[in-house]
Structure 1
């Protein structure tokens, strides 16, 4: 299968590319700079220079592929609404290129806005700031074979630069590894290599469902995450009010913990990487931020 991957040099996308190539698939990846393009080419993938704003490039690359995986997203949180609209335009462009064919598209979203313990059947709240899943549903209504891979808030592993490193930086700056309230709310976690395998298995099995959950640790109490960070940095672990977390408060205080039972059974997916707390026990994790 020839797969076009956006975000092919990113944290998740790079692992998706490696997993696809190891399984014998051909990959074309989008890269926004020459340096990252060179690293992508070294994996054996074909490189297309461009960004999510290059809609003609996206359309042409999707038209030439057997399947498309969209992992790219601009994580500049100071302009999240703009980035969400950019993401939606890219998804609509990729879908338009595939419409009228049976070629599948997988897009990426998160767990924010879902109830604790939600299954793959639960629809994300319309108030969710990220619009990828809504865009996918619109494409499905227009006959595109499309599904959403919902990623855990912590897609972890050495080199992680996602949400947990934000907490690590905050702990370093404030001198305390904090949790809001009593810390009983939970996050899900998944190792990046396990997450990558969900995308591949979904493609290989024909994208038969509308949503997949790339979730290994289904519910890790936030207080446990804070305690692991405290041990790693040698800092006290204490409850703090919402204001302590600044712009990240809405994420730090959210329940983002769902079930992946259906995805596991459907795809035959058994996560094999280390769990989130196991990764946070590694000294090297504290050099990744």
Structure 2
């Protein structure tokens, strides 16, 4: 039985991937800092590795002793990635790093944009995303069997300890407070999206079959933020009623990153590389999932 060392196992993405790997017959060792999470992790079949993202020696040791490593804890922490790459140097062990498709985002403030879907890392990302892109490029350029998976807007119930994603719950919380769905500007900005179960399946596929240096966007649908706001409104019993927020109001709600890139940007990508590998996503209707999940 092969052992996978993972960061982020208590999170939405990491916990779901860990559950999928365990189901496929892998042993998962997961970095975790809070002892209160240990019983639930153990019950889920995950062996806790006590430590934080700042514990370089712990991460290096766990990476060295595992058969492969998956980082889902942070797309923006170069220290963790550098520690893992250094630990795996010369071992030919596989490493999957998790990015995020805001690297393909603009700063549209809710406006519609005609964009050819990105199939690879943007050559000229916005300054705000340059550091994340640099990490992605460093992983792909390193001498080893390393890959990057770049999820889009993720939806669906998590399979690990954390059940909720990020963007849709943030929109739902804001909608509850406003008694209607909310979006920025015209709300015509669009995001590619992917279901958490399909995403977890992609990680398993990449782990087992992807060639070194591969970069994969994960998407199987696209929606405007106004469409999502209306679905959230319906799910909360507000009849689809929505309203526009100014970028300043959005920043006060979600901060600069959340407003400009989480909710106000266009992030349109293509999973053509993942599909070429053999990925067959099953879910393609974010809007119906939002309504169904909330009513259930």
Name the SS of the counterpart of 2:149 in structure 1. strand
Contact 2:184 2:244 in 1 (8 A): yes
1:262 is aligned to 2:273: yes
CA RMSD of aligned residues (A): 2.3
Partner of 1:106: 96
Task: Answer yes or no: is 1:19 the counterpart of 2:20.
Answer: yes
Call closer, same or farther: CA 1:21–1:207 in 2, change over 3 Å. Answer: farther
CA contact (8 A) 1:91 1:132 kept: no
Out of 202, 208, 225, the residue aligned to residue 206 of structure 2 is: 202
Distance 1:50 1:230 in 2: 40
TM-score normalised per structure 2 = 0.84
Q: Partner of 1:112: helix, strand, or coil? A: helix
Provide the C-alpha distance between the structure 2 equivalents of 1:91 and 1:142, rounded to a whole number of angstroms: 11
d(CA) in 1 for partners of 2:141, 2:280: 31
For the residues of structure 2 that align with 1:17 and 1:113, how far apart are their CA atoms? 25
Deviation at 1:113, TM superposition (A): 3.2
- Structure 1 unpaired stretches of 5+: 74-82
Specify whether residues 53 and 205 from structure 1 end up closer, same or farther in structure 2 by C-alpha distance, changes over 3 A only. same
Could you tell me which residue of structure 1 aligns to residue 83 of structure 2? 93
CA contact (8 A) 2:189 2:265 kept: yes
Q: Which runs of 5+ in 2 are unaligned?
A: 106-114
Q: Which residue of structure 2 aligns with residue 280 of structure 1? A: 290
Q: Look up the match of 1:220.
A: 223
Hey, what does 2:178 align to over in structure 1? 174
Label 1:259 to 1:139 Cα distance change in 2 as closer, same or farther (>3 A).
Answer: closer
Q: Give the Cα–Cα distance (whole angstroms) in 2 for the partners of residues 260 and 7 of structure 1.
A: 23
Q: Distance in 2 between matches of 1:157 and 1:197?
A: 14
Q: Is the 8 A contact 2:199 2:218 kept in 1?
A: yes
Deviation for aligned residue 1:123: 4.2
Query: How many residue pairs were aligned?
Result: 273
Equivalent position SS for 2:103? coil
SS in 2 for 1:150: strand
Residue 152 of structure 1 corresponds to 152
> What are the superposed Cα offsets for residues 196-233 of structure 1, whole Å, 9 maximum, x if unpaired?
1111110101443431112122x211111011011112
SS state at 1:21 partner: helix
